[in-house]
Amino acid sequence: MAVAYSIIIPCYNLGQFIPEAIESILAQARDDFEIIVMDDGSTDDTRVITERFSACVRYVYQENAGVARARNEGLELAQGEYVIFLDADDVWLPGFMPTMLEAIKKAPPKVVGVICGWQRMTQEGDPFGNPRIVELEESSWKNLLLGNPVAVDGLIFRKQVLQDIGGFDPNFLGTEDWDLLLRICAAGYSFGCIPTVLVGYRSVPGSMSSSIAKTLTNSIRMLEKHFSAPNFPGDLAGIREQAMAYRHLEAYAGYLYQGLVDEAEQALKTAVEGWPELLRDMRYAYTIITARQPSGYKLSGEYLDLDEVESRGRACYQRYMDTFPEEAKEGLGVFYCALGRT
């Protein structure tokens, strides 16, 4: 039977999780599929573990070159009309394949991919925090320029379009997924969304300040590339300062969560000075409120000290009362509305 869809699993030293990822696919896969494990130079037992599934998995080794190149190599090898990328430490939840395949087959040709919701998991595979449903509006070109809510594991793509636009760009470490989505939009394509959680996204600890700085640098550099592209739409060019401010705002939250107060304050200062309207923005208020909450619990009542949030939040507006008085005064009101205190 001809291969209809290809599942590509990039892996670097995550052999312990590979069986769970593969088994989550086999539990719902049909006869017309292939699984390609792209080993990106692992030094653990990824090869040995993957060989247990040799009857249904194609194992390919490459010298360590990064996840973007691993995915691109898998894309070149894929025989299916549709492709899905599943990170080695993540899993499909029940219903992923029948739901996603039906959706992409019914979608019009200009819809190059279908997005589903995702749920964070502990290293042990237990779900935690709030599930993330991606709304259709969030997948528009404009909103994707302002941030990326999509987990690449929660996407099924038309392979030919990905090949036509050149796959993942390895120059944007940590933001290659986001860059791919923006290039798809720039090529005139769009996405469909399914309001159902169908992917388990494992959170692996160990993110340090250096990764926040690198992600910030790469995301700014990636966005600059898009905003400066020839023939970039004029109606989208106007959100450049907002998009950059959002990146620094996100870095503020990351630094503060790690207790790096000086770095957090500098990121916030850069965000506000680059786009003073940020002070009026609800995202600013919510980020201030949730900055010290763990990922997965944002906007919930858990891990939230309202007195600390109120004190810190007031300071984040008061310091701009002289330089941006109108924005800061109005923004403080937005903050209290978001906080639920008057």
Q: Mind listing the pLDDT tens digit for each residue in 81-107?
A: 999 999 999 999 999 999 999 999 999
Spatial contact of 36 and 78, defined as CB atoms under 8 Å apart: yes
Give the span between the Cα atoms of 23 and 28, in whole angstroms: 9
Look over the chain and give the mean of its residue pLDDT values, rounded to a whole number.
Answer: 94
What value does the mean pLDDT take over residues 30-38?
Answer: 93
Contacts 24+ apart (CB under 8 A), 327-331: 327/276, 327/277, 327/278, 327/279, 327/280, 328/279, 330/279, 330/280, 331/279, 331/280, 331/281, 331/284, 331/285
pLDDT band at 2 (very low <50, low <70, confident <90, very high): confident
Give the span between the Cα atoms of 7 and 317, in whole angstroms: 48
What is the CB neighbour count within 10 angstroms for residue 190?
16
pLDDT tens by residue, 206-242: 434 458 999 999 999 999 999 999 989 999 999 999 9
What is the CB neighbour count within 10 angstroms for residue 323?
11
- With 60 as the cut, is the pLDDT of residue 297 above it? yes
pTM of the model: 0.94
- With 70 as the cut, is the pLDDT of residue 197 above it? yes
- With 60 as the cut, is the pLDDT of residue 342 above it? no
pLDDT band at 204 (very low <50, low <70, confident <90, very high): low
Spatial contact of 50 and 57, defined as CB atoms under 8 Å apart: yes
pLDDT band at 296 (very low <50, low <70, confident <90, very high): confident
